[in-house]
Every structure is written in structure tokens, then in C-alpha cells.
């Protein structure tokens, strides 16, 4: 939202931010932007019953005209890294508040956690959170993250994926499809991930695996069938009879599957398996 006047169509603060970013990249001085210390908030819509339920505390005792209703706008705060209150679950924590157009009042609004319905105070200036206060991002934090964010779609001048320190002329990265995942229309909740009401995009997918098209059938087994049995015995430690049954189409024990997967992925130059829990 516009930190100067959310009800205004004026977006000059964005031009000021870009000018400062470009000047710093060129080694030139950049004038400070006056709004950097202000709490960074977003505007979201009350688009589901789950989001309307915790708003009952705001509506209590108010006449209907003054209540927060379905499809009204509310505010959303963005918690800073390690800024969650000590009694909160970072994976299920999202601060919301009634809509307010005056940026000077944002920090003093009655904020509430969407999941626990617990009220919290917020601050964008204190160094850390407390049990009843969340440390949220200010516009300076947001602009700094944007200036130095990793860019997954682009490569640097040496062809490596862009990291936070990459500079210079960027080029598109090449994409190689390893496997397909069929997901349901629940992926429309990705908007909630962007709003930070859902902390992890993995929580909004429903996958529909097809055993005929999984990695074992499409990649691992064909590669194992091309390798010599003596090589497989030496590199996996499995006996010849077990390997023959596997190459004939029998799915291996999970422990043996992990061995074979690591072998084939290394052989094909594929990325390593994700660590457990990641």
C-alpha cells in the first residue's frame, strides 16, 4: 500500500525507491526516502469464511454498518525474520487488522493473529519480538529485500543462478524438466502464500500421483536396465538376484530405492534429493 496516502493514485514513492536502487548500483549517492521507517502493510480481501471467523472480535458490539463483512478490505502485516512472538507458531501466524487508510495509525491498530485469534501489538523499530509484540517489516526492510533478492529465473554473466550479490547483464536460465506433478485446483491458494497468511506453498497443493509416470518408471528403472549388473553390484552393494528382480520391474524396498535413486541421479547429473523435512 502507498505509505504516504493509500487512498491516492500517486505512486511517486515507487519511483523514488527505484531511483535510490539504481543510484546505489551505479555508485552514486542516494537521498533517503522518508517513508522507510513506516510499517509495511498490505491490503487483502475477506474472501473466505476462515478469514471472516477471527474478525468476530472486531465486530463484537458494533452495528451492522460498521462491521467487517465478506469481501471487505482488511490490512495484513508482514512479520520480520525472527520477529514472531515467543508463544506463536511461525508456520501458522498471520496478523490482520481492520482497514485503515491513515499510515500514521497502522502501528497502533488492534492486530490479531488469524489462526489463534490472539491479539498482538506490532513494532517496526524494536530490535526483537516479545511474548505480546511482533516485530514486523517496515518499508525499508521491504525495499532492501527487493533490492538484494535472489532471482531464480535469471543467470549472471558466468551462467550461474543469480544470488543476492549478482550484478551486470543477466540472461535467462535454461529449464530442464525432471518430472511432472499433477496438482488440484487448490493451488489457487497461492495468493494466500503471497499474502503470507499461508507460510509455505507446499501446504496449498493437493498432489495426484500417477504410478505409471513417477520417477521410478520414467527415469530410474530405464537407466538401471541399461547399466551392467556387475557395475550395479559394485556401486549399490545389492546382490545380483535382487538387482535382476528389480530390473524386471519389481519395486525395490524403500532403503534399496534410496540407494538406486542416488546412484542414477548422480550418473545423470541431476540435482540431489532434498533433505528430510525440507
Q: What is the pLDDT of residues 181-226, one digit of tens each?
A: 777 765 556 566 666 556 555 566 677 777 777 788 888 899 999 9
CA within 13 Å, CB half, 145: 11
The pLDDT, as a whole number, for residue 117 is 92
Three-state SS annotation for the chain? CCCCCCCCCCCHHHHHHHHHHHHHHCCCCCCCCCCCCCECEEEEECCCHHHHHHHHHHHCCCCHHHCCCCCCEEEEECECCCCCCCCCCHHHCCEEEECCCCHHHHHHCCEEECCCCCEEEEECCCCCCCCCEEEECEHHHHHHHHHCCCCCCEECCCCCECCCCCCCCCEECCCCCCCCCCECHHHHHHHHHHCCCCCCHHHHCCECCCHHHCHHHHHHHHHHHHCCHHHHHHHHCCCHHHHHHHHCCCCCCHHHHHHHHHHHHHHHCCCCCCCCCC
The predicted pLDDT at position 74 comes to 95
Across 136-145, 212-221, 252-261, least confident range:
212-221
What CA dihedral angle connects 180, 186, 190 and 191, to 10 degrees?
150
Higher pLDDT, residue 209 or 126: 126
Lowest mean pLDDT of 16-25, 59-68, 129-138, 197-206, name the range.
197-206
pLDDT in tens, 225-252: 999 999 999 999 999 999 999 999 888 9
The answer, yes or no, to whether residue 70 has pLDDT greater than 70, is yes
pTM over 0.85: no
Q: Who's near 26: CB < 8 A, 6+ residues apart?
A: none
Give pLDDT, residue 200. Answer: 59
pLDDT at 273 over 60: no
Which pLDDT band holds residue 88 (cuts at 50, 70, 90)?
A: very high
Task: Check residue 277 and give its pLDDT.
Answer: 42
Could you state, in order of their start, the residue ranges of all structural domains in the chain?
A: 12-147, 177-209, 213-268
pLDDT band at 176 (very low <50, low <70, confident <90, very high): confident
Place of cell 487508510: 101
Amino acid at each position: 500500500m502507498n505509505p504516504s496516502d493509500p487512498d491516492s493514485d500517486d505512486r511517486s514513492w515507487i519511483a523514488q525507491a527505484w531511483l535510490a536502487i539504481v543510484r546505489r548500483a551505479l555508485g552514486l549517492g542516494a537521498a533517503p526516502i522518508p517513508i522507510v521507517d513506516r510499517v509495511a502493510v498490505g491490503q487483502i480481501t475477506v474472501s473466505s469464511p476462515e478469514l471472516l471467523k477471527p474478525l468476530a472480535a472486531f465486530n463484537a458490539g458494533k452495528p451492522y454498518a460498521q462491521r467487517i463483512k465478506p469481501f471487505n478490505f482488511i490490512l495484513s502485516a508482514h512479520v520480520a525474520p525472527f520477529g514472531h512472538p515467543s508463544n506463536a507458531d511461525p508456520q501458522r501466524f498471520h496478523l490482520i487488522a481492520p482497514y485503515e487508510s491513515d499510515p500514521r495509525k497502522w502501528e497502533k491498530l488492534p492486530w490479531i493473529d488469524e489462526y489463534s485469534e490472539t491479539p498482538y501489538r506490532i513494532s517496526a523499530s524494536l530490535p526483537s519480538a516479545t511474548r505480546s509484540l511482533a516485530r514486523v517489516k517496515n518499508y525499508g526492510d521491504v525495499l532492501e529485500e527487493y533490492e538484494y533478492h535472489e532471482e531464480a529465473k535469471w543467470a549472471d554473466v558466468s551462467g550461474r543462478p543469480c544470488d543476492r550479490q549478482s550484478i551486470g547483464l543477466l540472461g535467462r536460465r535454461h529449464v530442464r524438466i525432471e518430472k511432472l506433478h499433477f496438482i488440484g485446483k487448490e493451488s489457487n491458494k497461492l495468493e494466500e502464500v503471497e499474502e503470507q497468511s499461508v507460510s509455505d506453498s507446499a501446504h496449498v497443493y493437493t498432489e495426484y500421483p500417477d504410478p505409471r509416470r513417477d520417477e521410478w518408471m520414467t527415469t530410474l528403472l530405464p537407466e538401471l536396465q541399461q547399466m551392467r549388473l556387475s557395475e550395479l553390484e559394485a556401486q549399490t552393494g545389492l546382490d545380483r538376484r535382487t538387482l535382476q528382480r528389480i530390473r524386471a520391474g519389481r519395486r525395490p524396498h524403500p532403503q534399496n530405492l534410496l540407494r538406486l535413486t542416488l546412484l542414477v541421479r548422480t550418473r545423470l547429473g541431476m540435482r540431489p534429493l532434498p533433505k528430510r523435512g525440507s
